[in-house]
């Protein structure tokens, strides 16, 4: 994955780390020690984990290309977190922005 990755602060502070009735990610991230109090750590951890990873899937949309990337790292509490991230490179843009993140359940025991 490219080094032009961008995660907008609001993506974490107003979406991923906030409880949502539908498709909540905050409880999953909290299991690994991520909360609103340390959202900057989550931001850095996601970028570090994704940089250099292979892209699992590329999809063309009306807005640009979307990339699906599986990654894992050790969360702030020492537990291994496995996620799938979706990124988008909009037409004419150099940067690749995080769209969402969700648990990677593909290798569950």
Reading the chain (109 residues) residue by residue, the pLDDT tens digits are 677 999 999 999 999 999 999 999 999 999 999 999 999 999 999 999 999 899 999 999 999 999 999 999 999 999 999 999 999 999 989 999 999 999 999 865 3
pTM of the model: 0.91
Degrees, nearest 5: CA angle 37-40-44: 145
Position 19 in a domain: yes
Domain count for the chain, please give it: 1
Is 31 among the domain residues? yes
Beta strands 57-60 and 64-74, pairing class: antiparallel
The whole domain housing 49 covers 5-103
List alpha helices for the chain, DSSP H: 9-11, 26-30, 39-50
- Domain of residue 26, CATH code: 3.10.450
> In this structure, is residue 86 part of a structural domain?
yes
């Amino acid at each position: 994955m490219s080094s032009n990755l961008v995660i907008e602060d609001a993506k974490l502070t107003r979406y991923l780390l906030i409880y949502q009735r539908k498709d909540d990610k905050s409880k999953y991230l909290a299991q690994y020690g991520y909360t609103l109090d340390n959202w900057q750590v989550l931001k850095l951890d996601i970028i570090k984990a994704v940089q250099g990873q292979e892209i699992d899937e590329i999809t063309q949309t009306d807005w640009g290309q979307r990339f699906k990337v599986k990654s894992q790292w050790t969360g702030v509490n020492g537990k291994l977190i496995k996620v799938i991230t979706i990124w988008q490179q909009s037409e004419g843009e150099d940067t690749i922005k995080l769209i969402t993140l969700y648990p990677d359940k593909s290798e569950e025991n």
